């Protein structure tokens, strides 16, 4: 434990004082409630009966977050005020009202780089390079570069809240049904490590197998494979290779483009400060993205038959995210494009299948020589999945030195304490990037993600550094309207997609 007897002796108040202060805290601040105070309460607060104030922006963990803070108070005597807004008020404007109040929060949550840039411009968020506590400095320095909340590659403003990942979701029993039970583990490993060209040849073989019962030989990870002569219980249900919601902008506008972005930028921070010359270097990777999008969306499963690109493909009633998940768990497809957050929804349709699912990397046609972002990405891209942080804990730059010290100590405890990690995993349902070996995660997709993280096979969430709205509102929307309704694509279509992505990025950056 980081906080031993010396730390507790140094910070612990008298038992009587702590009890009184705790009572005051619970009475004055209604910490166990998930409701935020209205603006009149915010502006009339004149007396501080707490040591630090934390604004938690996640309404799903309000009560458990309060309970965790109470545990911290019991151990240190540090009185914590918490505010968790209701879901209806969980907006940036709600946080802003607290930031501008007489007693603003000392710790608050930031969702993305766009919000960080806002608070940085207003001199509200504190750069951790100014940290005063050695233990906190150690915590900050251990955060992987790809998971840092950084605006310019040298600063650091946030402590990761949780981690999430995405890629192709696969049922290992479907792999077994396709390749034969005795081969499925080897096939699964070779599928993870195969090249784009090998993956592409397997897709062609799958199409022939599903639609015409034709067996073709193909290679995975330099080994020859073919599917079982007799279709298994699961593979006989297949109507297509992929399940993907055509009308979901995050699929075509964020998940898939991010793979291409990772060939040029090693983190979101590098994208955040990109100039026009650097953006133009994405033109070729965006061509490769368009090629992959073409491959995936040409081989999509439906409930009874394969779905071609067109009005049905982008229809929210016929090929929604829910329908894509149902098709996957019903054995209609081999691959589902999705994230670790999709586990709960998958489990509602079929918990047995959901509980055994794993991630496979999204393949794109990049040779190591094509990748300039980093040596690690160049070496491992074909067997990696993107991992990102949905929120960060930040410290208020306008808090005084005593409050900043208390905030640093609390965030250190969050990252290093066994008790805090128990809350984070068991109560919050989060997956910390630095999860302890003894911790158990219920979500199988999160477990799979952690394996990639431990292996060092991860890609950064570069898309988070592009101007807000580019991914889904601009690129995703354009692809749905202009291309995903078009059955056949050409090389000229690939170029038009790439040119548009580069053009809109530069345009939005200069606004």
User: What pLDDT does 281 receive?
Assistant: 97
Same domain, 373 and 401: no
Same domain, 63 and 138: yes
Supply angle C-alpha 37, 38, 42, rounded to 5: 75
Same domain, 365 and 408: no
Confidence of residue 19 (pLDDT cuts 50, 70, 90): very low
Backbone angles phi, psi at 113, to 5 degrees: -65, -30
User: What pLDDT does 29 receive?
Assistant: 38
Same domain, 117 and 246: no
86: helix, strand or coil: coil
User: What pLDDT does 37 receive?
Assistant: 42
pLDDT score of 70 more than 90 = yes
C-alpha 453/C-alpha 473 separation (Å) is 30
Same domain, 364 and 481: yes
Same domain, 291 and 169: yes
Q: By residue range, what is the domain housing residue 80?
A: 5-161+391-416
Comparison of pLDDT for 33 and 152, the residue scoring more:
152
The answer to whether residue 257 is domain-embedded is yes
C-alpha 446/C-alpha 439 separation (Å) is 12
Same domain, 367 and 410: no
Can you give the CATH number for the domain in which 260 is found?
Answer: 3.40.190.10
Same domain, 289 and 155: no
Mean pLDDT of 304-314: 94
User: What pLDDT does 10 receive?
Assistant: 41
Comparison of pLDDT for 22 and 210, the residue scoring more:
210
Cβ contacts of residue 148 below 8 Å, gap of 6+? 156, 158, 267, 269
DSSP 243-298: E--TT-HHIIIIIHHHHHHTTT-SSHHHHHT--HHHHHTTHHHHHHHHHHHHHHHT
User: What pLDDT does 125 receive?
Assistant: 97
**What six digits make up the tokens of 366?**
């990049």
The answer to whether residue 317 is domain-embedded is yes
The answer to whether residue 222 is domain-embedded is no
Confidence of residue 46 (pLDDT cuts 50, 70, 90): low
Confidence of residue 39 (pLDDT cuts 50, 70, 90): very low
The answer to whether residue 298 is domain-embedded is yes
* Residue 483: burial class (beta carbons within 10 Å; 0-12, 13-18, 19+): buried
User: What pLDDT does 183 receive?
Assistant: 85
216: helix, strand or coil: coil
User: What pLDDT does 459 receive?
Assistant: 97
Comparison of pLDDT for 278 and 7, the residue scoring more:
278
Q: What is the mean pLDDT of the chain?
A: 90
| Percent share of the chain, pLDDT over 70 | 91
Same domain, 507 and 410: no
Domain boundary among 366, 400, 416: 416
Question: In this structure, are strands 159-160 and 242-243 parallel, antiparallel, or unpaired?
Answer: unpaired
Bridge partners (DSSP) listed for residue 225: 218
pLDDT, tens digit (0-9, with 9 covering 90-100), for 227-236: 999 998 999 9
User: What pLDDT does 397 receive?
Assistant: 98
Q: In what order do the strands lie in the sheet with 80-83?
A: 80-83, 52-55, 107-110, 392-395, 159-160
Mean pLDDT of 33-53: 58
Comparison of pLDDT for 14 and 140, the residue scoring more:
140
Give this prediction's pTM: 0.89
**What six digits make up the tokens of 474?**
């601009």
The answer to whether residue 61 is domain-embedded is yes
Cβ contacts of residue 317 below 8 Å, gap of 6+? none
Same domain, 67 and 116: yes
Confidence of residue 254 (pLDDT cuts 50, 70, 90): very high
Number of domains in the chain: 2
DSSP 326-375: HHHHTTS-SEEEEEGGGHHHHHHH-HHHHTT-EEEPPP----GGG--S-H
Cβ contacts of residue 473 below 8 Å, gap of 6+? 249, 253
The answer to whether residue 211 is domain-embedded is no
User: What pLDDT does 438 receive?
Assistant: 81
Same domain, 370 and 407: no
User: What pLDDT does 3 receive?
Assistant: 43
Mean pLDDT of 382-390: 96
Which helix (H) or strand (E) covers residue 8, if one does?
A: helix 5-11
C-alpha 446/C-alpha 190 separation (Å) is 21
Same domain, 29 and 157: yes
The answer to whether residue 210 is domain-embedded is no
pLDDT score of 485 more than 60 = yes
C-alpha 170/C-alpha 183 separation (Å) is 16
pLDDT score of 6 more than 50 = no
Question: In this structure, are strands 458-459 and 218-220 parallel, antiparallel, or unpaired?
Answer: unpaired
Q: Are 158 and 110 in contact (CB under 8 A)?
A: yes
């Amino acid at each position: 434990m980081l906080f031993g007897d010396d730390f507790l002796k140094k910070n612990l108040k008298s038992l009587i004082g702590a009890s009184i202060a705790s009572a005051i805290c619970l009475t004055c601040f209604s910490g166990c409630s998930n409701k935020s105070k209205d603006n009149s309460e915010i502006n009339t607060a004149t007396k501080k009966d707490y040591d630090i104030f934390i604004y938690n922006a996640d309404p799903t963990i309000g009560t458990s977050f309060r309970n965790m803070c109470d545990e911290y108070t019991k151990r240190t005597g540090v009185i914590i005020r918490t505010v968790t807004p209701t879901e209806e008020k969980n907006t940036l404007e709600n946080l802003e009202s607290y930031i501008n109040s007489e007693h603003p929060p000392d710790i608050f949550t930031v969702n993305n780089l766009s919000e960080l840039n806002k608070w940085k411009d207003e001199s509200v968020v504190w750069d951790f390079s100014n940290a005063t506590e050695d233990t906190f400095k150690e915590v900050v320095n251990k955060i992987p570069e790809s998971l840092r909340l950084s605006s310019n590659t040298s600063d650091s403003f946030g402590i990761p809240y949780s981690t999430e990942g995405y890629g192709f979701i696969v049922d290992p029993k479907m792999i077994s049904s396709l390749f034969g039970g005795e081969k499925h583990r080897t096939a699964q490993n070779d599928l993870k490590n195969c090249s784009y060209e090998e993956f592409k040849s397997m897709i062609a073989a799958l199409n022939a197998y599903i639609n015409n019962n034709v067996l073709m030989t193909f290679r995975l990870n330099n080994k020859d494979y073919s599917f079982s002569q007799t279709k298994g219980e699961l593979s006989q249900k297949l109507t297509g290779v992929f399940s993907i919601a055509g009308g979901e902008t995050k699929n075509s506008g964020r998940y898939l483009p991010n793979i291409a972005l990772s060939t040029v930028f090693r983190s979101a921070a590098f994208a955040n400060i990109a100039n026009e010359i650097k953006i133009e270097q994405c033109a070729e990777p965006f061509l490769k993205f368009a090629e992959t999008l073409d491959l995936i969306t040409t081989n999509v499963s439906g409930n009874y038959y394969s779905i071609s690109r067109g009005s049905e493909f982008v229809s929210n009633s016929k090929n929604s995210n829910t329908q894509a998940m149902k098709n996957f768990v019903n054995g209609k497809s081999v691959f589902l494009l999705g994230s670790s957050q999709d586990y709960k929804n998958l489990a509602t349709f079929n918990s047995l299948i959901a509980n055994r699912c794993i991630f496979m990397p999204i393949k794109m046609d990049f040779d190591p020589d094509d990748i300039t972002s980093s040596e690690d990405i160049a070496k491992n891209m074909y067997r990696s999945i993107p991992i990102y942080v949905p929120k960060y804990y930040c410290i208020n730059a306008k808090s005084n030195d005593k409050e900043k010290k208390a905030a640093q100590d609390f965030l250190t405890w969050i990252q290093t304490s066994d008790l805090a990690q128990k809350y984070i995993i068991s109560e919050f349902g989060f997956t910390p990037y630095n999860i302890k070996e003894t911790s158990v995660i219920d979500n199988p997709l999160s477990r799979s993600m952690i394996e990639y993280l431990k292996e060092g096979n991860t890609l950064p969430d570069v898309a988070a550094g592009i101007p807000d709205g580019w991914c889904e509102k601009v690129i995703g929307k354009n692809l749905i309207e202009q291309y995903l309704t078009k059955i056949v694509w050409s090389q000229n279509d690939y170029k038009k997609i790439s040119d548009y992505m580069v053009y809109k990025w530069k345009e939005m950056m200069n606004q």
